[in-house]
Structure 1
Amino acid sequence: MRTISATEASRRFSELLDAIEAGDTVTVTRGNRRIAEIRPVRRRTGRDLRAALGDIPPPDDRFVADIAGAIEDLTDEGTDPWAGE
């Protein structure tokens, strides 16, 4: 892991992003204090979402009805507010 000052990070931001894109994790300091750690984004997949939601039971009928009612209350004529006009 590389450590650089905030001033250096500012001056060499493009190079910093290149290093992070290549897989490096960089710690940024200000006044000898660690203030940030920048690392590559972890790509998420549908498999990650399924794993995260795996232990959560599906919504029951009442929840589904409550959501449908809330959407209906938000619309003028019971139309989907997120559907294009």
Structure 2
Amino acid sequence: MESHISAAEAAQTFPDVIERVRSHGDVFVVEREGEPICRIGPVVPARRTVRDLVRLLQTAPRPDDAYLDAVEEVAKNQPTLPETPWER
């Protein structure tokens, strides 16, 4: 639900405004002299897609050879894990 409130009312009732945003998802348009100044509302979580991930990976700097060599060295020198009694 979107409500229009004056800047003075928003200042006087700010804890209540924040609680209504948090608990009910209410949105407040704060006005000064009848002119909308800002909107107070819930933060919408960012949505990411696989396409966003692909773009990020395509634009990220490429690792240099020294980095890839270090990763390979670490992978080769990993200790083997003991077998668990639950494996057959």
Shorter chain as denominator, the TM-score bin is 0.5 to 0.7
- Once the two structures are superposed, residues 26-67 of structure 1 have per-residue CA deviations (whole angstroms, 9 ceiling, x without a partner) of 1000111100011101134xxx233461452633797434xx
Count of matched residue positions in the alignment of Structure 1 and Structure 2: 63
Report the counterpart of residue 43 of structure 2 in structure 1: 41
Q: RMSD value over aligned CA atoms?
A: 2.8
Larger radius of gyration: 2
2:1 aligned with 1:4: no
Q: Which consecutive residues of structure 2, in runs of 5 or more, have no partner in the other structure? A: 68-88
Report the counterpart of residue 19 of structure 1 in structure 2: 20
CA distance, structure 2, for counterparts of residue 51 and residue 36 of structure 1: 33
Q: Which consecutive residues of structure 1, in runs of 5 or more, have no partner in the other structure? A: 69-85
Summarize the Cα distance change of 1:56–1:29 in structure 2 as closer, same or farther, 3 Å threshold.
same
Summarize the Cα distance change of 1:51–1:59 in structure 2 as closer, same or farther, 3 Å threshold.
closer
**CA deviation after TM superposition for structure 1 residue 9, in Å:** 0.2
What is the identity percentage for the equivalent residue pairs of Structure 1 and Structure 2? 22
The TM-score normalised by the length of structure 1 is 0.58
Summarize the Cα distance change of 1:13–1:51 in structure 2 as closer, same or farther, 3 Å threshold.
farther
- Once the two structures are superposed, residues 62-81 of structure 1 have per-residue CA deviations (whole angstroms, 9 ceiling, x without a partner) of 7434xx8xxxxxxxxxxxxx
The TM-score normalised by the length of structure 2 is 0.56
CA distance, structure 1, for counterparts of residue 60 and residue 5 of structure 2: 54
